[in-house]
Structure 1
Amino acid sequence: MDNPEYEKISKKKPTYPIQSFFSQYLSKYDRNALIPVFYDDLLRFSGAIEVYNENGEDTLWVRVYYPEHERTTIDRDLKKVYSILHGDGSDTSVPFLNIDAVDYCTFGNSKPFRIKVRNILNDNYTYMYVKKADASRVYGLELEHLLSPNRINFLVYKETLIEDHISGIPGDTFIEAGLDAYSIRTQKQIAKEYVKFNERCIVRLLGDMRAYNYVIVPTHDFDQVRYRIRAIDFDQQCYEGRLRVYMPQFLKENNQYVEMVHNNLRPESIEQYQQEERSTIAKRILLGKKRIQELINCMLQDRISSDDKIDQLKNDLFIYTKDVAFKKCKCMGEILETAFRYVIRHYQDVNGLKNIKD
């Protein structure tokens, strides 16, 4: 794992619509739902103020306000959306919910709304996000659900995407707190997780995993705290042409994590963890073969990147893997399908397993 030079991300990525065949897939697996409020509805705010963090720094989010005659309807509809996302969609929980805040972010491609929902019975609160539905982002969410250790809760209806909040410490905030403050044992554990996270991104072609696009999730075990790394932004799923954009190790915002890996893990350990993660992904692909193939079939029909990026990525992958099958790919769906087949073949060869027909 090295980073002799850093990669740059495209400044502006186009939004790709949800095609009918992909919508049918989402309906089949209960990702489509009739919701009472749309992304464009939330754009009708009449005013906003900046949101600052506890240190008085601008968060790049603004808290928006709506005309009085619209606020009641928007609050009611957002509570209903929360009920659909987290329950059976009935109105039984709605009277016990309150919409504490609606925040809007103009930073990045998705320009999301962040909704703070509070249970008035116990004062517990959580967040959900309302975004413009983008095909590459939805493919990324579904692949994360199927191929990572994490489950993802989201809904799509027409041009609106509802995402559940993913809890954790933002990767850049975790860095600012000081990695050196953690014990050597903890640093080694985080380094191991970072290697595996890096490998997951490469295999499933999830790009732009800069430090603020993933979170560190501490889990208290009976005698220690374990850390996991979770992606929280899926905007750059199968879009960029340069392979190294899909390798977090080559993004300058991750430099301190890469240094931690080098300082705490031997090369043979890094290779071991990479192999473990590839094998785990291969097993998940084989276990979820039917649904994953249905998702790939949608991507084979879809257009979620440009021809020049497709050509560059397939050539980069050919150089990286020496697998000539990449050079024959004509779309991002074919590239991802070929990457999955490559990982499965490697897993089966290493373990002496008989090849399973596609």
Structure 2
Amino acid sequence: MSEEKLMSKKKPAYPISKELDEYLDYYNRKIEIPIHYEDLLRFSGSVAVYDANDEDTLWVRVFYPEFDRDEIDLALKRVYSNFVSDGSDSIFQYLNVDYVDYCTFGNSKPFRIKVRNILNDNYTLFYVKRTDASRVYGLELEHMLSPYNLNFVIYENTLIEEHIVGIPGDVFMKKNLPECTEFEKAQIAKEFVKFNERCMIRLLGDMRSYNYVIVPTHDFDSVVYKIRAIDFDQQCYEGKIKVYRPQFFKENKTMVDLVQGKLTIDSVNQYIVEERSIIAKRILSWGRRLKRLMDACIADTIAPPENIETLKAQLQELTGDINFRDSKNMGEILAHALDFVKRNYEDVSMKQIIDKKF
């Protein structure tokens, strides 16, 4: 199946529902900040941002009129203070807003802000985006069901999201992977199998190579690699089940070839069972909070009817679980998917849960 047919051409942004808003408020994901996404759109000029190899990054560095710049800088420092510190003004004198970048590629069109501590040159990156219910559900599910915690806050129609450190997947495959040892390549293959399964279980779509990062960590005399999603726009939206499995995107062919070359089918099965088991344990450990998020999602509209009908039919065929057949919306499909994992992770065979494309 071609990628053009696999993905919808344009996903709309969905508003934050009353139930989701109450959830975000209860779990301290809402905060009052002095700037909105639309305020940052008032830039008067921009220049393209190139990487170290003089390749266009598809980001542009924006500039503001002099009478707006001071106001925006102060507001962004206040956002920084509220987002990563105690919200006080005392640190402002040590902060400098080095740049504001705007991404012209993709659905969310985020702003990337670099705030630097002038005393030691340490810096923090964060993103300012428009709110989208799909993205918020994706961030919360990543926070609860992946190995990683995420820091983000909402203010009215503006989302502030932390930067996730790592090497973009497409860059890693091109520049870093060829230099890896055979042992490291086998370890990366294992992580891709787990990442593939994690995305499928929580219905996170469109994990093409530039929508996730590879995170290398030094451990004694070796390097351990992990894979993290960085884009959550396609949470529970598409109807085709393959969209939720990174293995089916052509941009990930290098990773799929790595899995096929480095892992036996028994190893793949082992890592799938491991990932399903740990996700099932996370589902149980988050308990009430995850249930409250699912209740909000079930009451929400985050996908068109045709996508819902397609996905629930494909998931029923894949799992044999009739609960998918009776799902009325994407929230119910997701809730049934998580419940299926929780109920069956100890004894579901590989044949029931993954296409043998690996």
Shorter-chain TM-score bucket reads over 0.9
Q: Where does 1:235-274 land on structure 2 (aligned, <5 Å)?
A: 235-274=233-272
Q: Does 1:131 align with 2:120?
A: no
C-alpha displacement at 1:222, in angstroms? 1.2
2:181 maps to: 183
- The question of whether the paired residues in 2 share the 8 Å contact of 1:5 and 1:250 is answered with no
Task: Show the counterpart of 1:87.
Answer: 85
- Three-state SS of the structure 2 residue aligned to 1:32 is coil
The residue that corresponds to 1:284 in the other structure is: 282
- The one-character-per-residue Cα deviations of 1:176-213 (angstroms, maximum 9, x if unpaired) are 11523211100010010110000000000000000000
Paired residues of 2:6 and 2:242 also in contact (CA < 8 A): no
Residues 127 and 161, structure 2, Cα contact 8 Å, conserved in 1: yes
Paired AA for residue 145 in structure 1: H
* CA-to-aligned-CA distance 1:22-51 (integer Å, 9 cap, x gap): 111001111000010000000011111111
SS in 2 for 1:288: helix
SS of 2:6's equivalent? coil
- Residue 330 of structure 2 is matched in structure 1 by 332
CA distance in 2, matches of 1:348, 1:25: 31
Q: Secondary structure at the match of 1:272?
A: helix
Residue in structure 1 matched with residue 299 of structure 2 by the alignment:
301
The residue that corresponds to 1:30 in the other structure is 28
Within 2, Cα distance between the matches of 1:135 and 1:5?
28
Shift of 1:114: 0.5
One-letter code of the match for 2:158? Answer: T
Matched residues in 2 for 1:23 and 1:106: separation? 28
Match of 1:152 in 2: 150
SS of the aligned residue for 2:62 comes to: strand
1:169 matched residue in structure 2: 167
**Partner SS state of residue 328, structure 1:** coil
Whole-angstrom CA distance in 2 between matches of 1:11 and 1:75: 36
CA contact (8 A) 2:81 2:89 kept: yes
Would the aligned equivalents of 1:218 and 1:228 in 2 still touch at CA under 8 Å?
Answer: yes
SS at match of 1:99: strand
How far apart are 1:173 and its partner, in Å? 0.3
Alpha-carbon distance in 2 for matches of 1:26, 1:92: 28
1:106 shift after superposition: 1.5
Could you say which residue in structure 2 is the equivalent of 1:51?
A: 49
Task: Label 1:189 to 1:349 Cα distance change in 2 as closer, same or farther (>3 A).
Answer: closer
Which AA in structure 2 matches 1:201?
C
Q: Give the Cα separation in 2 of the matches to 1:248 and 1:28.
A: 33
TM-superposed deviation, 1:224: 0.9
Gaps of 5+ in 2: 349-358
Q: Given that residues 15 and 133 in structure 2 are in contact (C-alpha distance below 8 angstroms), is that contact kept between their aligned partners in structure 1? A: yes
* More moved, 176-185 vs 242-251: 176-185
CA–CA distance in 2 between the matches of 1:95 and 1:254?
A: 45
CA distance in 2, matches of 1:45, 1:308: 39
Match for 2:296: what amino acid? C
Q: CA deviation at 1:9?
A: 2.0
For the residues of structure 2 that align with 1:217 and 1:83, how far apart are their CA atoms? Answer: 27
Are the counterparts in 2 of residues 8 and 251 from structure 1 also a CA contact under 8 Å?
Answer: no
Cα offset, 1:223, TM superposition: 2.1
Q: Which residue of 2 aligns with 1:312?
A: 310
Counterpart contact for 1:99–1:117, Cα < 8 Å: yes
3-state SS, counterpart of residue 163 of structure 1: strand
Q: Are the aligned partners of 2:169 and 2:209 in contact in 1 as well (CA < 8 Å)? A: yes
Quick one: structure 1 residues 47 and 60, their matched pair in 2 at CA, closer, same or farther if it must change by over 3 Å? same
Corresponding residue for residue 223 of structure 2: 225
Instruction: Map 1:95-114 to 2 at 5 A.
Output: 95-114=93-112
Q: Supply the AA of the counterpart residue of 1:45.
A: F
Shift, 1:349, TM fit? 5.0
Question: Please, what TM-score do these two structures have when normalized by structure 1?
Answer: 0.95
Structure 1 counterpart of 2:137, which letter? Y
Deviation, 1:263, is 0.3
The CA deviation at 1:348 is 5.2
Report if aligned partners of 2:42, 2:64 keep a CA contact under 8 Å in 1: yes
- Relative to structure 1, the CA distance from residue 71 to residue 190 in structure 2 (aligned partners, 3 Å threshold; closer, same or farther) is same
User: TM-score when scaled to structure 2?
Assistant: 0.95
Structure 2 CA distance, aligned partners of 1:27 and 1:40?
22
Give the counterpart letter for 1:344 in structure 2.
K
* 3-state SS of paired residue (1:108): coil
- SS of structure 2 residue aligned to 1:326: coil
Give the AA of the match of 2:115.
Answer: V
SS at match of 1:325: coil
Residue among 13, 16, 25 paired with 2:14: 16
- State the identity as a percent: 59
* Distance in 1 of aligned mates of 2:325 and 2:272: 24
- Measured in 1, the distance between the counterparts of 2:141 and 2:178 equals 33
CA contact (8 A) 1:188 1:265 kept: yes
Which runs of 5 or more structure 1 residues have no equivalent in the other structure?
Answer: 351-358
* Conserved 8 A contact 2:185-2:262: yes
